[in-house]
Structure 1
Amino acid sequence: MSDAASSIPLLSLASGYGHFAVPPVALAAAIAALATAGQQAAPLAVAPAAGLPALRAALAARYRRRGAPGVEAENVLVTAGAKTGLFAVLSELLQPGDDVLLPTPNWFGFGELVRRAGGQLRTLLLDAADNYNLTPEALRAALTPATRLLILSNPNNPTGRVLSAAEWAGLLAVTAEFPGLWVLSDEIYEGISFGAAPVPTLLAQPGSHARHVVVSGFSKSLALAGWGVGCLAAPPALAAAVAARLFATGVAVPVPVQLAALAATEHAEAIGAVLCAQLQPTRQQLLDGLAALPGAEAVAAPEGTYYVFADFRRFLPAGLPPADASAALVRQLAAAGVEVVDGATCGAPGFVRLSYAVPEKVLTEALVRLRAGLVSE
């Protein structure tokens, strides 16, 4: 490859944030809060560590509308991004050396969060050949009486796989056999869904409020990337303990941001519909581009998120260990001018995570570069 080709600016299909405009209702709410402070020559109010009561109540009401009748404001906390909520929950639940089970492929950030909270992460590899199906039998075989926490993401990042309500029920019948086990569902992409039915929340499952936790946020499904606001729902005692930890170790999310999140929550379904409509063309464009590559096999289109987890194992350089070969392939694509997420970081070397939450023109050029980086023609 020439020096000119190797120095072209990278086009990123690796970012976890979409190319979305801030929802007008959210922007207006934040601006109004700032304007009021300016007009009154007063400082901004400081929210309670657990979040504004109105936002907590609105989030609880939305969970109830999604089929979770037992969720109240006391179950819900507002956090400075979803990772802050995840780490606070993990820090409360885990003792040093606790066993944590993570079916993979899954988000690459869980490993470091679990490690820093003192847990020991153990993975359960799922297979692309059966669309990453996690059966109750496989889950039962992977759990032990010492397992403290099971982490799932729904929709899954990076695969886009969505657990149905029936699948949740089958898996929770197994977890109920382990009285010391907690289940945590990362549902931050719940509004980015292309299935016939909305993504079911863990909290809508019967008996799901004793040892079950949901962590979510506003950056993916509600187009508030960069605003630094997340949320979680947990049993009252755990929620109170996490709120105390947040009070001791940080500051509350600024009130204008929480008011923007409140407006987004109140209009969540409409915002999600706009985002999914915006994503439809690039979703199909990426799927078509991947299908046109040599050796492409028919694959199930991802049902949720704005990623495709592409199987590029056929393009791996020979003679290297899987993780090294996967890293080499990612470097090869970067040399062609396309940045992607290495599937090895998600537990699946030879796969790459590609975002289609980018402008159509960017994706068109990225697909040209992707093909050039993979295929000698």
Structure 2
Amino acid sequence: MISKRAQQLQPSATLKVTGRAKELKRQGKSIVSLSAGEPDFKTPQFICDAAIEAIQNGFHGYTMNTGTPELRAAIVEKLKRDNNLEFDAAQIVCSNGAKQSVGFSLLALIDKGDEVIIPAPYWVSYPEMVRLAEGESVIVRTSFENNFKLTPSQLEESITEKTKAIILCSPSNPTGSCYSKDELAALADVLRKHPNIYIISDEIYEYIVFEGDHVSILNAAPDLKDRVVLINGFSKGFAMTGWRLGYLAAHPDVVTAVSKIQSQETSAPSSISQKAAEAAYNGPLDEVLAMREEFKKRRDFMVASLNEIEGVSCFTPGGAFYVFPDISHYLGAKKPNGDTIQNSTELCLYLLDEFGLAVVPGDAFGEPDGLRMSYAAAMSDLEDAMNRFQEGLATLTVH
């Protein structure tokens, strides 16, 4: 009998949509996919060269459980240089992707019945990770009008005696929203009154911020450092998704707990990936900045195109590579065959099956009135996608 734990988990909706799109494409159907959260650029060559050199030098054995001293030193220097944050190497745990860092942090912090506040729209894995840790997710629905950002009053109202943690993601997956320093400071004012709550700050899209610099909650509230678990990695900014390398920076007690879990579950991440990551943080950011500029052009195109479509609204996200338009106008609309579009999932399946456009329903992110489109794709694909989107919506009858 399969465990109740496994039976209760939901599969990743983004991977599900991506998989269905790939299957339709394999069958010969023309598909444009804006579903995957993966840069469409190659990993910078100097990073690849560092990995090749590591292989040639025989650096392919197990490393220390928490990562090589050299990589953790590079992370410490990067946090100081780019984020004005002071950590030491003993406060860093390198993992097989930032996703693992989030999951192991929850396993280290959450006991059965503990509550974790998650603003919606949220990354699809957060609630399932809380479920794996036997915690309870408290989903707080934010508003399109506020660019889907949690307000201090919403946070205060969501806190109970069982609250153990909150997960913040800025820039956000799936909305691209970025919290300002003032907004983070206002949330910190609430959290200061509740000293037993940890803040898991997912900053994986740090290098993809279009206006100004990335701001961490630790920049806005350095006094909360002992309660913050900072999550980051190399997949998005350096186009290193397949290298599977992330890390966390946290209080020594959290690091000790996560290290014990990691030592039994996976041990250290790939030695080759660690050498590549070390080169990434010690090297130039020219290609990272070039990718960001290209993403900005695509963002501007997507936002303008979406807002030209009748019944669709889209704010301009400050970072990441997603737009999250409001499509509530089309919920309840009729397909040509007379069937009703009941929710965003049905709308996305209709667009995929009839028009070959793969996007992810907002239902998967806890926001039924929206959907996520990734613009980590060539401009020609984005133009094609917008044509298909507009064409698909035009076939629906709105009452």
Are the aligned partners of 1:107 and 1:158 in contact in 2 as well (CA < 8 Å)? yes
Instruction: Tell me whether 1:111 sits opposite 2:127 in the alignment.
Output: yes
1:306: which partner in 2? 321
SS of 1:215's partner is: strand
Quote the residue 1:332 is aligned against: 350
Q: Which runs of 5+ in 1 are unaligned?
A: 1-5, 38-42
Distance in structure 2 (CA, Å) of the matches to 1:333 and 1:318:
13
Distance 2:241 2:278 in 1: 15
Instruction: Provide the C-alpha distance between the structure 1 equivalents of 2:183 and 2:301, rounded to a whole number of angstroms.
Output: 30
Per-residue CA deviation, residues 296-343 of structure 1 (Å, 9 max, x unaligned), is 44x430001100001111122349xx9942211011110210100111
Alignment partner of 2:372 out of 346, 353, 359: 353
Q: Work out whether residues 131 and 300 of structure 1, in 8 Å CA contact, stay in contact via their aligned partners in 2.
A: yes
Distance 2:373 2:48 in 1: 29
Structure 1 distance, partners of 2:368, 2:284, is: 35
Q: Secondary structure at the match of 1:361?
A: helix
Query: TM-score, normalising length from structure 1?
Result: 0.92
CA–CA separation in structure 1 for the residues paired with 2:284 and 2:145: 34
TM-score, normalising length: structure 2: 0.87
Spell out the pairing of 1:148-167 with structure 2 (5 A cutoff).
148-167=164-183
Tell me if 1:31 matches 2:52: yes
C-alpha contact (below 8 Å) 1:145/1:178 kept by paired residues: no
Report the Cα distance in structure 2 between the residues aligned to 1:148 and 1:324, rounded to whole angstroms: 35
Q: Secondary structure at the match of 1:151?
A: strand
Q: What SS is found at the alignment partner of 1:311? A: coil
Question: Equivalents in 2 of 1:350, 1:77: separation in Å?
Answer: 38
After the TM superposition, which residues 71-110 of structure 1 pair with which residues of structure 2 at under 5 Å, given as runs?
71-110=87-126
Which deviations, in whole Å up to 9, do the C-alpha atoms of 1:226-282 show, x marking residues without a partner? 111111111012112211211122131121110101111223643431211222332
Counterpart AA for 2:371: V
Instruction: Name 2:214's counterpart in structure 1.
Output: 199
- 2:36 aligned residue: 15
Deviations along 1:106-136, one digit per CA (max 9) or x if unpaired, are 1111011110011100111110012224222
Query: What percent of counterpart residues are identical?
Result: 31
Matched letter for residue 318 of structure 2: E
State the one-letter code of the partner of 1:333: L
Q: Does the 8 A contact of 1:317 with 1:328 survive in 2?
A: no
Whether 2:324 is the aligned partner of 1:285: answer no
**2:194 counterpart of 1:175:** no
Root-mean-square deviation (CA), in Å?
Answer: 2.3
For residues 28-58 of structure 1, give each alpha carbon's deviation from its aligned partner in whole angstroms, at most 9, with x where no partner exists: 1001111122xxxxx7232101001111111
Aligned mate of 1:294, from 280, 296, 310 = 310
What one-letter code is carried by the residue in structure 1 that aligns with 2:309? L
1:238-317 matched pairs, under 5 angstroms? 238-267=254-283, 269-297=285-313, 299-317=314-332
C-alpha separation in 2, matches of 1:65 and 1:48: 25
Separation of aligned partners in 2, 1:347 and 1:217: 25
Distance in 2 (CA, whole Å) between partners of 1:67 and 1:183 is 17
Q: In 2, distance between residues paired with 1:165 and 1:175?
A: 15
What is the CA–CA distance in structure 2 between the aligned matches of 1:329 and 1:283, rounded to whole Å? 22
Question: Could you say if the C-alpha distance between residues 133 and 110 of structure 1 is closer, same or farther in structure 2, counting changes exceeding 3 Å?
Answer: closer
Change in Cα spacing, 1:235 to 1:270, as seen in structure 2 (3 Å) is farther
AA matched with 2:49: A
CA distance, structure 2, for counterparts of residue 376 and residue 323 of structure 1: 12
Amino acid at match of 2:325: A
CA contact (8 A) 2:332 2:341 kept: no
Q: Partners of 2:361 and 2:281 in 1: how far apart? A: 33
Instruction: Kindly tell me the number of residue pairs found equivalent between the two proteins.
Output: 366
CA distance 1:374–1:7, shift in 2 (3 Å): farther
Query: What's the CA shift string for 1:44-82, capped at 9, x where partnerless?
Result: 232101001111111112112244443111111110011
What is the distance in 1 between the residues matched to 2:126 and 2:31?
A: 27
C-alpha distance in 2, partners of 1:21/1:159?
Answer: 24
Partners of 2:224 and 2:82 lie apart in 1 by 14
Is the Cα–Cα contact under 8 Å of residues 152 and 190 in structure 2 kept in the other structure?
Answer: yes
